[in-house]
Amino acid sequence: MTFGFNFETTYKQLTPHFYTETEPEKSSSPEIVLFNTGLALSLGLEASALHSPEGAGVLSGNAIAGETPIAMAYAGHQFGNFTQLGDGRAVLLGEHVCNDQRYDIQLKGSGRTKYSRSGDGRAPLGPMLREYVISEAMHALGIPTTRSLAVTLTGDTVIRETTQKSAVLTRIASSHLRAGTFQYAIIESEVAAKELADYAIERHYPDFTEKENKYELFLEAVVHAQSYLIAKWQSIGFIHGVMNTDNMAISGETIDYGPCAFMDYYDPTTVYSSIDVQGRYQFRNQPGIAQWNLAKFAETLLPLLHEEQEKAIEIAQEKLDNYKDLYQAYWLADMVNKIGIPAPEESDVALVLDLLEILEEEALDYTSTFRALSLGNIESIKVEDEEKLRGWLVRWESALQEKDQTIEDARVLMVNTNPAVIPRNHLVEEALFYAEKTDDLSKTKKLIEVLQTPFDDSHDEYYKRPPGEEEMIRNTFCGT
């Protein structure tokens, strides 16, 4: 049974040092506990057949629907330190082709590979549920992301701090090419770097293939994609948690949801990763870290940009220098939308920054405050310095008048920009804890359902209210 898969894995056309053929480890009694029917149908898959005991065999790795899967090799700067890596607990089932689009279908948590080092290659249920919840929430919010097709219990256990249920996530991506993949390639040789770059261009930017300056255009496109993505993260209050170069997809999709979270009370220094003790990946650092990662990516392309190294560095630096302006433009466009302004002007920068200053000084909830502004519920925004907030509101209304906008027009834009619900940390943790301890995924499924309509105010207040101090979750874990 093919389940509608149409595999054509072009990555296998690369030199074998980029990957290793790897069959997933067998699971004792696989059972699908979450299945994304809408995503399956959009991919042209046979959803009802795949969401079955036979389908569970494929989505756990017990059965192979096509060619032998592969584990991909890559490297990466992890918290600034360079390391040789690879898919230590994941395999690529294949590249599924649908409507002239190519999608990687990967099993995460499917057992040991050549790149596992000391790991067991498996994944606990909780982190796989977390990636499903957060990635699908990001998709509903319109943020570029990998997607989650299913979570499948294996029937086995893993040992972390305690004994936990093991699960496999089925992840969908435009590709799993990372900045770290290119770092791995250039270590092999300049020939390998060229082979990988040519492949990436053909797959993601085919219009560049015949261009004389295709590698320059490629770098430029990746810089654009990352500046757009990080601006989206910052505007919505999302904290990735581990922005290593191996977690930067050249497609511009958010990838590898480990210790990630959405910010509750606005604080630019917020860190949610339990392992980020230095705060390298705190919220306010994300734009700069993305630029740093892009610089490491650009280094791998230097031999391709120009035969003279000095000229190659000049070209790369020019493209990297564009990042700051691109990011700022994307971020400002997103932020003025949040206050009902369709297109930004220079004068709007201070308006945005002053509002963020109020949020930080008053420790206001990021999502709820912007939603309250959208709905005109100003009285629900409780602050100590009421005069400062009133002053900002007067300036905001004046800015709208100068642009010939009414507050009503502004709020039409705002209610479709500022979500009512996000995957709040305490709700996610509560749902995952309940699923792990009781085998009941009803809370997880309800949360996923609510998050599919993030701009809907009709949900129970439980899903909208900011948590109290005692409910805040300050650390999340990757679960490796």
- The residues, ordered by sequence, that sit 6+ positions from 308 with a Cβ below 8 Å of its Cβ are none
What confidence category does residue 474 fall into, taking pLDDT thresholds of 50, 70 and 90? low
Structure token pair of residue 479: 């679960």
293 is known to lie in a ligand binding site: no
171 is known to lie in a ligand binding site: yes
108 is known to lie in a ligand binding site: yes
Q: Is it the case that residue 471 has pLDDT exceeding 90?
A: no
178 is known to lie in a ligand binding site: yes
Among residues 289, 148, 300, which one has the least CA distance to residue 230?
289
Check if 246 is active-site: yes
120 is known to lie in a ligand binding site: yes
pLDDT for res 66: 82
pLDDT for res 62: 96
Q: Is it the case that residue 466 has pLDDT exceeding 70?
A: no
457 is known to lie in a ligand binding site: no
Q: Which one is catalytic: 87, 104, 246, 334? A: 246
pLDDT for res 479: 54
pLDDT tens profile 255-277: 999 889 999 999 999 988 767 76
Alpha-carbon dihedral 27, 71, 34, 47, rounded to 10 degrees = -100
pLDDT tens profile 181-204: 999 999 999 999 999 999 999 999
**What is the C-alpha to C-alpha distance for residues 388 and 355, in angstroms, rounded to an integer?**
10
**What is the C-alpha to C-alpha distance for residues 280 and 77, in angstroms, rounded to an integer?**
12
Other beta carbons less than 10 A from residue 80's beta carbon: 11
Structure token pair of residue 71: 């584990």
Mean pLDDT of 347-360: 97
Mean pLDDT of 68-85: 87
Residues in the chain: 480
Q: Report pTM.
A: 0.95
280 is known to lie in a ligand binding site: no
Q: How far is CA 265 from the centre of its chain?
A: 21
Residue 404 has φ and ψ, to the nearest 5°, of: 60, 40
Question: Residue 1, exposed/middle/buried by CB under 10 A (0-12, 13-18, 19+)?
Answer: middle
**What is the C-alpha to C-alpha distance for residues 475 and 4, in angstroms, rounded to an integer?**
40
Question: Residue 157, exposed/middle/buried by CB under 10 A (0-12, 13-18, 19+)?
Answer: middle
Angle between helices 214-236 and 286-305 (to 10 degrees): 170
